[in-house]
Amino acid sequence: MPSGQVKEYEIEHFNNYGENKDFDAFDERGYGRIINELLKNLSEPYTNLKAIDLGCATGCFTIRIADLGIKIKGIDISENCIKYALKKNSNIQFEVGDIENLNVSDEEFDVVVLFGVMHHFPELTDAINESGVY
């Protein structure tokens, strides 16, 4: 098995969502619990924070973070998911990108979010090193 993510599979799988449907992993109660845990670790005011959501899929979680007043950027490997996310909320910067090879500087963001993503990587080293999560 390759050391990194099997990108072709991931792109093909998630492109099926972005075409005509959302990829919504949780209900409102689940998102609420996760956001409450996230907020315990963030400083107010949230409007001063810049975040990046890596593996954002169709932006369901990204949009909820933006609703808190946090400036957030969503990145996903699926072009179709990003197109769908942009249709839902054109005020958030969404772009196609690879978690294992990001085109952002370490100083650009205060918060890195990897929501429901890490299980997609057979070997976490590249994803963790690139995302700045240590």
Q: CATH number for the domain including 62?
A: 3.40.50.150
By the 10 Å C-beta count (0-12 exposed, 13-18 middle, 19+ buried), 64 is classed as: buried
Answer for the pair 75, 96: CB distance below 8 angstroms, yes or no.
Answer: yes
Total tally of structural domains belonging to the chain: 1
Residue 77 lies in a domain: yes
- The CA R_g of the chain, rounded to the nearest whole Å, is 14
Residue 118 lies in a domain: yes
pTM over 0.95: no
Q: What's the pLDDT tens digit per position in 85-113? A: 999 899 999 999 988 888 888 789 999 88
Q: What's the pLDDT tens digit per position in 13-70? A: 777 776 677 777 788 999 999 999 999 989 888 888 999 999 899 999 999 999 999 9
